[in-house]
Structure 1
Amino acid sequence: MALETASDALQPVMAFALVGVLGVGSQWLAFRLRMPAIVLMLLAGILIGPVAGVFDPERDIGPLMSPMISIAVAIILFEGGLTLNFHSLQDAVKGVKRLVFVGAPLGWLTSALALHYVAGLNWESSVVFGGIMIVTGPTVIAPLLRTARLSKRPAALLQWEAIVNDPIGALAAVLAFSVVLVLTASTTLGEAIWSFVIGISVATALGFIGGYGIARSFREGWVPEYMKVPVLFVVLLAVFALSDFVLHESGLLAVTIMGIVIANSNLPSYGELLRFKEHATILLVSGVFILLAANIEFSALAQLNWRAVAFVLAMVLLARPITVLVSLTGSGIPYKEQILVAFTGPRGVVLVAVAGLFGERLFALGFEDAALIAPLAFVLVAFTVVLHGFTLAPFARALGLTGSDIPGVILVGGRPWTTAFAEVLQKSDVPVLMTDPNFGNLRTARTAGIETFSGDILSEAAEHRLELVSYTTIVAATDNDAYNTLVATDLAPEFGRDNVFQVMRDTSDSARHHLPTTLGGKGFGPEMTDREINALIRQGWGFGATRLTEEYTADQWRAENPEAHVFARIDPKGVIRFVQSDDDVKGAPDVRIVSLRPKTEVEAA
């Protein structure tokens, strides 16, 4: 349908397509520009909604918008629960407990005080809205962590707090609203308590039953492989709907518990389920942010005054830091990590959705200032998303809580040639980690001062003990072709297929051993096997890095090193790019060429 004016209503199909294109397009553009994706999605929604008037969710989608957002938030929280494996907590477990059991009630108190004394809301609205303010938003935290590349423990603290406290915040609002109903004589105290207790009990039971049922049926083979994801989605929706029917907003708790139960069930198919859910969550986060931003009305924001600005500043500079620092006192968490968590509290979808719901309910009960709840929620979300989107990474770097600014390389295999290659990379200031299941194979690397890990790179021990966030590229280079293929295939979804390489296989030329493109990594270096490279090392060949200048070009280097095999180039910022031929070498000033050269050329250099 052609749009004649900005006020023309979009057909629902066109509206859904527009939301999808803008949401995913914003994420892709953010990746290309190295910007926070949340900021671009928020901006895109505002531009097509209240600014241009091209898309109005209430007009173009109608009554479907509210249930769509509710289901999307439920799936997002479930996916978050799927990532909460208790083994992944380790030394952060005490901090997470403090942030949940101490931080949630304390955050409720500080938020309610800020709402009453700074924003000027009455106590009823402040207490209900303060309960919702507990949440920090997994829809925002996940993209921020992906961009900022934080160290493991602060990342785990922020992720667990966001996911666990999200349903707690919604339930806190339900509890506070029940108290308000009692005070306004809309219901009795006994009815309110009974309804709340029953709702929480049902949500917890449904979450455990749903999670255990999925885990048991998948493990016993009752569900065929091709139906696992559809069955998972159907059970998820059923658990959420049933729990929400008993007590509004309790469905969020049910699906979070369901996700945590499945995450800790050691399912063989857990990895595939998690990756699929991550992809679905990216789509849902994109769509929900576009919808919420496009649905905002400038007339509602016009009701706010200077108190709104003071309230947002009070939440960011006082309420959040006080809550976190008090909660983590005596927890053993390093003070720098406490500071990072204290000043990182972005709000997201759940806050806006639940705040709008309870704002309408309170307004219907006669609390006129409840009309300010939805605009205040949106302003807080917009401010914190922009603030933390641009400041989290540099703030964490200043505190020394991120991976190296220069992307590192993991070399899997303690071979003579990988050790020599690692030494050259380390001298070129590229972070290197060498791993090998055999402790003895890493002896030379340890002597050379290279960071090593003795164990299987695919093991849980590697995931828990290594700061993998510092490394963006992995090279599978053991003397076992099958193991190299397994490592490259398994780690490709985590590192990205363009960043996973594998040394050439000894049997790659044989039709009987040729692997499909879905297995293994990209070709590493010249077309040479591990055996062939090691043979050259034994003959006296060596790795070296040569810096190009305006006077000393790539052509001159090649003329002086005619037999050298080029493996990589390192750009002026320290980013390494593996190459397979001279055509891939982009000669420019300050670019370093890493190559394997004959003994005569090494001595000449």
Structure 2
Amino acid sequence: MMDSLLLILMLIAVLGVGSQWVAWKFRLPAIVVMSIAGLLAGPIFGLMNPEEAFGDLYRPFISIAVAIILFEGSLNLNFKEVKGLGKPVFRIVTWGAFLAWIFGSLTAHYVAGLSWAVAFVIGGIFIVTGPTVILPLLRQSKLKPTPAKILKWEGIVVDPFGALLAVFAFEFILFLLADGRDATALLFFLLASLFAVVLGVVFGKVTGWMFESGHIPEFLKSPAVFALVIACFIIADEVKHETGLLAVTAMGMTLANLGISSIRDMRHFKENISILLISTVFILLTSSLTMDTLMDVFQPAIIGYVLLMLFVVRPLSIFLSTVKSGLSLQEKTLVGWIAPRGIVALTVASYFATILADEGFAGASLVTPLTFALVFSTVIVHGFSIGWLAKKLNLSSEGNPGVLIVGSNRFTNALAKTMKELGIPAVVVDSSWDRLNGARKAGIQHNHCEILSEQTEYTMDFTPYDYLLTATEYDSYNALVCSTFLPEFGRKNVFRLPKQNHSGDHLVDIDHTIGGREVFTPTEGIEELKYKLKSGYVLRKTSLTERYLYEDYMRDREQETVLLFVLKQSKQIEFFTEDLETTATAGDTIVSLTPPSKEFNKIKEKLEEKRNGKS
């Protein structure tokens, strides 16, 4: 086992980020890869035990990390997002959570053999799913908007309530068992929870006011939010343990609904920090387990408890709580199946395992293995099944990678129509009904909206689209849209047309760090492309074979041909750009803007073939 704390920190970071990369590269659930990496480094090979190495800093670090992750998730909870979903979301986070608590507690008592006190505490903990597990799954599974939003809201809103419910159950049990039945502690817990909500709202409003009024400079905004989140969490948690999570959730939701201009930048910064912390904390928790805990997982009572939680408790609580809520049977089935437990369940359960054992409650020794069994089982089962089940229930937007095209004109409409013929999901977005008229007539999927508007985030589903292409007549607008959506699509998937020299906004130059990659050729702006189409150029699809290779195509094409993109056999799209070399192999399709002479010669050849065939 490693003795150096620096080496352990290095290994945690490498395993955490490395697991995220492996998951992205091979399209695996990230939480599954991280859990396996932590188990291999910890109890299986014994390379490290972070809980022993960190000592007294172990639990405070994990608590603060969870608070930041929960705050980052709550920054996405804008009430506009649940427009039309208010009833099912409200029912699931209230009645659904309550039913899950009752059913889970009964299962823990009668199946796992826990005492009533321990069963109701553990039942409260296990109603949580949480952003640490739900958000990575949603990021990879490409669910349709309705189930994705419901799962996200449930995961983030119920997360602090699960911890509070466990505290409430514990305090209530102590109240019932204590001599004289003093209700002071129970009343203090309720007041502390109310204080946490008020504190979070105040912190959120004060933060928003300071940002908008200019009291905090731009370069200090991210560090300031970071410090304020930690302060909000610790103040509430010092008043009463576990209420800090409620405080940071209230703070994040308050900021998300203030409509301040800094929220998008803040969200991206927090998302980057959150991904790093999720990776780190999962490795910390799984590598700190012992072999004895792992072996206890295989007890029949624990296995039976996990199976009932998976196949009975969760589906039943969702189906009962969403009666007449407007959700379809498919949506109820998916939401009723997906409930992976994560960091909050592990951390809160480990805290209560010690407390319950000190109080002498029967079954307290089973809390840790029971928690790990449920966390690891749900992470594995739900991580691998969410994509498959969503496809079976027709709730997945997974398919061929799509293209979101900004700007409707003769060229983009022709490009979108060609993509549609190739089976590529493509949508043309424009803020002008007049400009969209051509797209409507051509039967192309289109969306009338301002792509930079906050409302578009809630009215348009971006899930099917992996690539962004901006092709309006204004170069500065194209660059602005690309820069805005770089975090969502990734730098390698954001493209814009080359600058125009004689039209548009006459933009002289664009810094190389701004906007996306320039596509096609450095001289072909939107006006040139539109003019070529008007002059008789056509979009042509050329399939490569073993007999007709990429080198043959490049040799035969006319010099004026504008190369647009390659549709690979894997259905991935590679746009032709100046800074990246694009190649194609047999089975790929090259799409190009071809001069009329080439097409005229093709028509002549076909006519000759027909004449020869008749004669």
TM-score normalised according to structure 2 size:
0.94
Number of corresponding residues: 598
User: Is the CA contact 2:175–2:183 (under 8 Å) kept in the aligned structure 1?
Assistant: no
Match of 1:3 in 2: none
How many angstroms apart in 1 are the aligned matches of 2:332 and 2:601? 54
Q: Please tell me whether residue 40 in structure 1 is matched to residue 37 in structure 2.
A: no
Match of 2:612 in 1: none
How many angstroms apart in 2 are the aligned matches of 1:213 and 1:558? 61
Within a 5 Å distance, the mapping from 1:66-215 to structure 2 comes to 66-185=59-178, 188-215=181-208
How many angstroms apart in 1 are the aligned matches of 2:317 and 2:179? 33
Q: 1:535 to 1:134 in 2, by over 3 A?
A: same
Aligned equivalent of 1:573, options 570, 574, 578: 570
Within a 5 Å distance, the mapping from 1:219-230 to structure 2 comes to 219-230=212-223
Secondary structure in 2 aligned to 1:453?
strand
* Offset of residue 461 of structure 1: 3.5
Aligned equivalent of 2:272, options 274, 279, 290: 279
Secondary structure in 2 aligned to 1:494?
helix
Match of 2:606 in 1: none
Q: 1:243 to 1:582 in 2, by over 3 A?
A: closer
Percent of aligned pairs with the same amino acid: 38
Match of 1:523 in 2: 518
How many angstroms apart in 2 are the aligned matches of 1:544 and 1:583? 22
Match of 2:20 in 1: 27
How many angstroms apart in 1 are the aligned matches of 2:563 and 2:174? 74
TM-score normalised according to structure 1 size:
0.96
Match of 2:611 in 1: none
* Offset of residue 205 of structure 1: 1.5
* Offset of residue 582 of structure 1: 12
Q: Describe the superposition over 1:252-274 as per-residue Cα deviations: whole angstroms up to 9, x where unpaired.
A: 10110011001111111111111
Match of 1:379 in 2: 373
* Offset of residue 186 of structure 1: 6.8
How many angstroms apart in 2 are the aligned matches of 1:413 and 1:435? 6
Aligned equivalent of 1:392, options 365, 379, 386: 386
Q: Describe the superposition over 1:422-460 as per-residue Cα deviations: whole angstroms up to 9, x where unpaired.
A: 111111111110111111212222222210012211223
Q: 1:512 to 1:92 in 2, by over 3 A?
A: closer
* Offset of residue 387 of structure 1: 0.9
Aligned equivalent of 2:423, options 429, 435, 444: 429
* Offset of residue 300 of structure 1: 2.4
Aligned equivalent of 1:420, options 414, 421, 429: 414
How many angstroms apart in 2 are the aligned matches of 1:239 and 1:65? 20
How many angstroms apart in 2 are the aligned matches of 1:110 and 1:30? 34
How many angstroms apart in 2 are the aligned matches of 1:197 and 1:512? 60
Aligned equivalent of 2:400, options 402, 406, 418: 406
How many angstroms apart in 2 are the aligned matches of 1:539 and 1:511? 24
How many angstroms apart in 2 are the aligned matches of 1:52 and 1:511? 63
User: Is the CA contact 1:435–1:454 (under 8 Å) kept in the aligned structure 2?
Assistant: yes
How many angstroms apart in 2 are the aligned matches of 1:511 and 1:272? 29
User: Is the CA contact 1:240–1:255 (under 8 Å) kept in the aligned structure 2?
Assistant: yes
Q: 1:125 to 1:579 in 2, by over 3 A?
A: same
Q: Which runs of 5+ in 1 are unaligned?
A: 1-6
How many angstroms apart in 2 are the aligned matches of 1:193 and 1:558? 78
* Offset of residue 603 of structure 1: 3.4
Secondary structure in 1 aligned to 2:511?
coil
Match of 1:602 in 2: 599
User: What residue identity is the alignment partner of 2:492?
Assistant: D
Q: Describe the superposition over 1:478-537 as per-residue Cα deviations: whole angstroms up to 9, x where unpaired.
A: 111121111111111111111110000114999982221221110111221111111111
How many angstroms apart in 2 are the aligned matches of 1:427 and 1:455? 25
Match of 2:534 in 1: 538
Secondary structure in 1 aligned to 2:463?
helix
Q: Please tell me whether residue 593 in structure 1 is matched to residue 590 in structure 2.
A: yes
Aligned equivalent of 1:552, options 529, 532, 548: 548
Q: 1:478 to 1:383 in 2, by over 3 A?
A: same
Secondary structure in 2 aligned to 1:475?
strand
User: Is the CA contact 2:415–2:539 (under 8 Å) kept in the aligned structure 1?
Assistant: yes
How many angstroms apart in 1 are the aligned matches of 2:127 and 2:241? 18
Match of 1:290 in 2: 283
Q: Please tell me whether residue 562 in structure 1 is matched to residue 558 in structure 2.
A: yes
Match of 1:267 in 2: 260
User: What residue identity is the alignment partner of 1:175?
Assistant: F
* Offset of residue 8 of structure 1: 4.4
Secondary structure in 2 aligned to 1:474?
strand
User: Is the CA contact 1:412–1:477 (under 8 Å) kept in the aligned structure 2?
Assistant: yes
User: What residue identity is the alignment partner of 2:367?
Assistant: I
* Offset of residue 15 of structure 1: 1.7
Q: 1:481 to 1:169 in 2, by over 3 A?
A: same
Within a 5 Å distance, the mapping from 1:236-251 to structure 2 comes to 236-251=229-244
How many angstroms apart in 1 are the aligned matches of 2:579 and 2:555? 12
Q: CA RMSD in A?
A: 1.9
